[in-house]
Structure 1
Amino acid sequence: MSPVERKEVKQKSLKALESLGHKDLKLDEYESQIASEVIHPDDIDVRFTDIGGLDPIISSLRESVIFPLRFPHLFASSSLLGAPKGVLLFGPPGCGKTMLAKALAKESGATFINIAASVLTNKWYGESNKLVAGLFSLARKTQPSIVFIDEIDSFLRERTKGDHEVTGMMKAEFMTLWDGLTSSTDRILVLGATNRPNDIDSAILRRMPKRFSIGLPDVDQREKILRLMLTDTPLAPEFSIRLLAEQADGLSGSDLKELCRNAAMRPMREFMRQADGDHEKLAQTQNDGFTLRPLTMEDFFQLDGASVLPVD
Structure 2
Amino acid sequence: MVGHRRFRSDDTRATRETVILPIERRELFADSQLTQAPKGVLLHGPPGCGKTLIAKATAREAGTCFINLDVSILTDKWYGESQKLAAAVFTLAIKIQPCIIFIDEIDSFLRARNSTDHEATAMMKAQFMSFWDGLITDPHCTVIIMGATNRPQDLDRAILRRMPAAFHVPLPNVQQRKQILDLILKNEPIEEGVDIMKIARASESFSGSDLHELCRQASVFRVRDYMKSSKSDCPPSTSTSQSHSNISESDDEFHDALRSISMDDLMRSLQKMKESKLHCGSLQMDRIELD
Is the deviation greater in 105-114 or in 135-144?
Answer: 105-114
Post-superposition shift, 1:238? 2.0
Please give the secondary structure, in 1, of the residue aligned with 2:27: helix
1:180 to 134, 141, 147: 134
C-alpha displacement of 1:79: 2.0
Of the candidates 259, 278, 297, which is equivalent to residue 214 of structure 2? 259
d(CA) in 2 for partners of 1:273, 1:83? 58
* Structure 2 unaligned regions, length at least 5: 1-6, 235-242, 282-291
Residue number in structure 1 paired with 2:38: 84
Distance in 1 (alpha carbons) for counterparts of 2:13 and 2:89: 29
- Paired residues of 1:70 and 1:144 also in contact (CA < 8 A): no
Show the counterpart of 2:263.
297
**TM-superposed deviation, 1:105:** 3.1
The count of residues paired between Structure 1 and Structure 2 equals 260
RMSD, aligned CA: 2.4
For 2:250, what is the secondary structure of its paired residue?
helix
The alpha carbon displacement at 1:70 in A equals 3.0
Asked if the contact 2:8/2:170 (under 8 Å) is kept, the reply is no
> Residue 24 of structure 2 is aligned with which of 51, 70, 75?
70
- Pick closer, same or farther for the CA change 1:273–1:100 going to 2, 3 Å: same
How many angstroms apart in 1 are the aligned matches of 2:202 and 2:250?
36
Please state how far the C-alpha of 1:192 moved relative to its aligned partner. Answer: 0.2
* Alignment-derived partner of residue 3 in structure 2: none
Of the two structures, which has the highest relative contact order with CA contacts closer than 8 Å and spacing of 6 or more? 2
Shift of 1:263: 0.7
Pair 1:183–1:286, CA change in 2 (3 A): same
Distance between the aligned counterparts of 2:12 and 2:222, measured in 1? 35
1:311 partner amino acid: C
Equivalent in the alignment of 1:311: 280
Greater radius of gyration (CA)? 2
1:193 aligns with 2:148: yes
Deviation of 1:154 (Å): 0.6
TM-score, with normalisation over the residues of structure 2? 0.81
Q: What SS does the corresponding residue of 2:166 show, helix, strand or coil?
A: strand
Contact 2:199/2:267, CA 8 A, preserved across alignment:
no
* Structure 1 Cα separation of the partners of residues 171 and 250 of structure 2: 40
Please name the residue that 2:247 is paired with.
282
- Structure 2 residue 78 is matched with structure 1 residue 113: no
Deviation of residue 289 (structure 1)? 6.8
Counterpart contact for 1:272–1:282, Cα < 8 Å: no
Report the counterpart of residue 157 of structure 1 in structure 2.
111
User: Which residue, out of 163, 177, 182, partners 1:208?
Assistant: 163
**Seq. identity, %:** 48
